Amino acid sequence: MSARALAGQRAHDRGDDWEATIRGHLASWTARGLILGWQQQAPLTRRVGPGGERVIVVDREGPVDFAAWSRGGAWMWEAKHTSSDRWPLRLLDERQARLLSSWHAPDLHRYAGVALRFRIVTGGLGQDSTWWLDWGTLGPLWWSWSSGGAARGGASLRVADVADWGGPWGWRVFGGGA
């Protein structure tokens, strides 16, 4: 396997690990009554392949990664991760941004965002920093960047940027608004 393919596989595995962590959080919070329910919006479609064989394919037009609901409203979000101290906005594609934008309506108690994990590895040790990026703040930044309107350095978010205007990832995200 080439170095590039190996790096891609590691990134994919870290994304799967972050999604598994989120599933564990959501199951625990539901069991404790902190949220009412959740589901993973897997972008998979079952189809019948050649010779009647049943196959599962990735549906590129599927919904965002997760949905959850509580007494305070309903949420939809993407789970994203980076092993850098910056998260490139290009890692959220336009289809995902459109879905988040169409869902986000705080006046209707509908919230959208990104659950972002920075996993910075130094000296063989990993340190996680997890955040909730509300679409009401992230969305305008993303749309500005996607249309070429981002300022210098505006194509990615640093941990410090996220700490300034994001909130920590945790069950409080679902407590009546992001």
pLDDT tens-digit map of 139-174? 999 999 999 987 777 899 988 888 888 889 999 999
Confidence of residue 4 (pLDDT cuts 50, 70, 90): low
Closest CA to 22 of 100, 72, 94, 75: 75
In order of 94, 116, 119, 121, 170, the CA distances from 125 in angstroms are: 34, 19, 10, 5, 23
Among residues 21, 2, 7, the alpha carbon closest in space to that of 116 is found at 21
Domains identified in the chain and CATH numbers: 3-37+69-174 (3.40.1350)
Sequence letter at residue 132: W
The larger pLDDT score, comparing residue 115 to residue 125, is at 115
DSSP secondary structure string, 39-98? EE---EEEEE-GGG-EEEEE-TT---SEEEEETTEEEEEEEEEESSSEEEGGGS-HHHHH
Which tops the pLDDT comparison, 152 or 13?
152
Residue 90 phi, psi (nearest 5): -65, -15
- pLDDT score at 104: 97
Q: What is the pLDDT of residue 8?
A: 44
Which amino acid, residue 10?
Answer: R
**% of the chain exceeding 90 in pLDDT:** 54
Per-residue model confidence (pLDDT) at position 5: 45
**C-alpha distances in Å from residue 10, one per residue of 60, 70, 74, 80, 110:** 21, 34, 32, 14, 34
Mean pLDDT over 19-42 rounds to 91
- Whether the per-residue pLDDT at 125 is higher than 60: the answer is no
